[in-house]
Every structure is written in structure tokens, then in C-alpha cells.
Amino acid sequence: MTEFGLTCGFLICGGLTLLNLLQMYRSYRVSNRDRQISTANGTPNRPEAVEFPALQASEQNEVRLVRDMLQLRILADEDFSSPQELLQEFLRKLALLSGFSQATLFQKQSPGASRLELLSSGGCSLPPDLMSRWRTAEQATLTSCPEITPSGIWLKAQDFSRITGCEGAPLRSALIFPLSGKQSANGVLILSSEADVPAHPVISELARWVAEFLPHAFEKALNRHQLEERARRDGLTRLANRHVFEQELERQWQISRSLQSPCTLLLIDADHFKRINDRCGHLAGDAVLVCLAQIISDTVQQQRITDRPLVSRFGGEEFAVVLPECSLIGGMRIAEQIRARVQNQPMLADGHQLNDVTVSIGVATTEESDLDPAHLVRRADHALYAAKESGRNCVIRAEQKRPAASGRLQFSESKRRFAFFKSAASPSPERTGRAGSDGLSDVSLESR
């Protein structure tokens, strides 16, 4: 009987609390119009002042803060398909409520690490090339602020003009808080905008509350997301690893078959990479791979042929790019731009100036005769080997037909996974001329 009475009491109290909240919202006539984002230029509108006739300024701020905190708190109780989706939606809502363009979480991979890595972000939509420069500017901003106190840091336009690395992004405002409110914490929350966001106590208090709320409310989600990201990324280049490539190619191949839409694959190999290791050392070779990964990623994002490209490290000095809903012509254009950028980009690797780094690229697009993703990879692999034999530093495409097995790829029907291996007995592909008599044709034969 006592338990029944307590239950009724809790229900009554909860009902009264909800009624009070409804009365508060109705009496204050809170408008949602101040939270809209301009879709014309991707710039968030500044929040319009909410009028509370019967309240003082401090009381208005308190009501606004409670309202915003409630909206964010409700998100934490909703169901999402993944921790990443939960964090992205939470940060998107935070950016919307605070009037900033982006809300981003950075975290160190380990307590002793010196560099902060991107964990998750949310906010208004930005073009891919601007998004890349935006993240670089945020990284540079955090590097220039080694001591972030629990009270947070406001940065204005004049502050960014003194930070090296912010030249490429139009940042004019930022608010930074350490996660959990601890100085020198392993995680950082940064709100950034290309507009002048005036310092406001509600925005500061909301960001401080989020920095304390996130690690505790989303501890399991954050830990799971970190583990998932580490498992998905190559340790050196931070690109997607081989396992992620196989999963995504399998998925996109299935989509391509069901929707009858193209999916293009690029296989990229660094030319004479062993010579770099022998001449300059393995640390220089690692630096070259990191630089190549950055060039490939930036080029793919800038083209915007598809909103879901995947750039991955295929193995050793090889990279793979999956371009869903991208035709063979579009894939060739991206491949040629990657090749040209690498050729024209001097690289500083472990103290060595390298001006002769080039890549060879094989391009293939899905076709009806592909029985599984392995056939798409095999055709791109044939084209890559033809590029190597054509003098390197060129792009070669696979014609729309199924080639014979090269001895370099095997596919397991039981595991639905494909594995690659090099064999001394594997026949090398025939050299491809401009006539393309063997099923392959080239677009550039600028050999080095």
C-alpha cells in the first residue's frame, strides 16, 4: 500500500511539473523563429530577442537557459542508430541554440598525446572544401590555446588574425570549453562561426553546462564511438582502413545493382615508393603516405561528385577511393586531378625535399557482369597494373567488360570477403596502348 501511495505521489508531482512548464511557455510566448538557419548561404541567423514583459533581464536569461538545456537534455533520452548519430544531432542542436555555425568535439587519442583529434561535429551545412579548411582552423586555434580554463575562452575576429593556420577559413567567433570543466582535459568543445557572435552569459553558461554534461551523460556512447573510430581508421594516415573499405564497397555494390546506378572505384599506387624508403628512410616514406592521403582526401571532397565518397588506405603504398553514384567519366576526372596535384606538390618528408613523387591510378565502374565486388576491384587492379607498365604517373581506365583473373585477387563466397596477395607466378597485364585493344585505355602517359 505504501509503494502504491508513493507511486501516485510521484505521478501527481510529475503532472504538476509538466503543467507548470506548459504554463511558463505559454505565458512567456517563446518564439521558435530565432532558431532558424539561413539555407541560402549556410550562415545561421542571429537569434532575435525573446520578450518577457513581466521579467527582469536576469530572469529572462535564466528562462532561456533552462529552455535550451531542456531541449538538449531531451535528445539524450532519444533512440539513435549509433553513438555518432547521437553526438552529431546533439552538437547540431547546440550550434543552433547558441547561434554558432559549428559545434565540434576534439579529444586526445590517449592521455599522454599532444594532438587533439576530431571526435564529432554538428551544425549548418558547409561545402566540403570549406569544411576541411574550417577543421584545420579549429585545430590551429586549439593549438594556440594550450591552457583552456573551466570558465572558457571567447575569441573574436582580431584573435584569429594572429593565429597561424586560420587563413583558409573565415572564422570570426569561437567559444572553447574543456570537457568536464577540467583544465588540460583530454577533450575540448569548440563553438565556431564566420559571423560575429556577441558574448552572452546564456551562451557561455549553456556551453559550460554541455561541457560538463556530455562526458557524464554520454560516457558509454563516447567510449564506444572512440573505439569504433580507432577500429575504422588507419593508424598512420587516419583514413578508413581495409576492413571499412571492404564493408563499404560491398554495401555500395549492392546499392548499385539494386538502383542501377554507377559506382566507381579508384586504385592509387605511389610510384617507386621503395626508392623513397631506401633513399630517405622509412620515416620519410611515412610522411609521404600522410601527404598523399591528404591530397587524395582534399581532391575527392572538393569535387563533390558524390556526398558519400570513401577514401581508404588499401595497403602499403596503395589507396582506394569509392565513389558512389559517380560515372566512369567523373571518376576519370577526379583521378586525373589527383595525379596532377601529386605531381605538382613538393613534399617535405623527414627533412628531405621530394619533388618527384607521382602516382599511378586504375579506374573501374560497376557493370552488370560483375558477380561480386571482387570483379570491380579486379578490373581496377588490371587498370592500375597497366598504368604501371605504361610508364607510371598516369591514369588508365578499365573498359566495360569482365577481365580474366590476374592471380592477384581471391574471393570467398562463404565469407563474402575478398583478399589480395602478390604472387611471383601472377601474369603481368599486357601493356595498354591508346588503341585500347586489350580492353584498357589510357588518358595520360606522362611517365617520370
C-alpha 241/C-alpha 36 separation (Å) is 38
**Phi, then psi, of 427 in degrees rounded to 5:** -70, 135
Q: Taking the mean position of all CA atoms in its chain, how far away is CA 347? A: 24
C-alpha 16/C-alpha 162 separation (Å) is 53
Angle at 388 between CA 412 and CA 406, to 5 degrees: 25
Catalytic residue numbers read 317
Closest CA to 327 of 345, 308, 348, 306: 306
Task: Give 353's strand partners.
Answer: 348
